[in-house]
Amino acid sequence: MFYLYTILVPTLILVLGYLLRKPKPKSFRDYVVLISRIIPFIIAYTILIYYLEMNDIITTGWVAYTLLFFLFPVAIVVLIILFYFKIWGRPLVKDKDLPN
CA distance 16 to 38: 9
pLDDT, residue 92, reads 55
pLDDT digits (tens, 9 = 90+) for 25-83: 888 888 888 999 999 999 999 999 999 888 888 888 788 888 888 888 988 998 888 88
pLDDT, residue 80, reads 87
Q: Is the dihedral of CA 17, 22, 27, 29 positive or negative?
A: negative
Side chain identity at residue 33, one-letter code: V
pLDDT, residue 16, reads 93
- Is the pLDDT higher at 93 or at 8? 8
CB under 8 A, 24+ apart: contacts of 52-59: 58/1, 58/5
Side chain identity at residue 58, one-letter code: I
Element (H, E) at 83: helix 63-87
Q: Is the dihedral of CA 46, 44, 77, 17 positive or negative?
A: positive
- How is 34-64 classified by DSSP, letter by letter? HHHHHHHHHHHHHHHHHHHHHTTS--S-SHH
pLDDT digits (tens, 9 = 90+) for 5-14: 888 999 999 9
**For range 19-24, the mean pLDDT:** 88
pLDDT, residue 7, reads 86
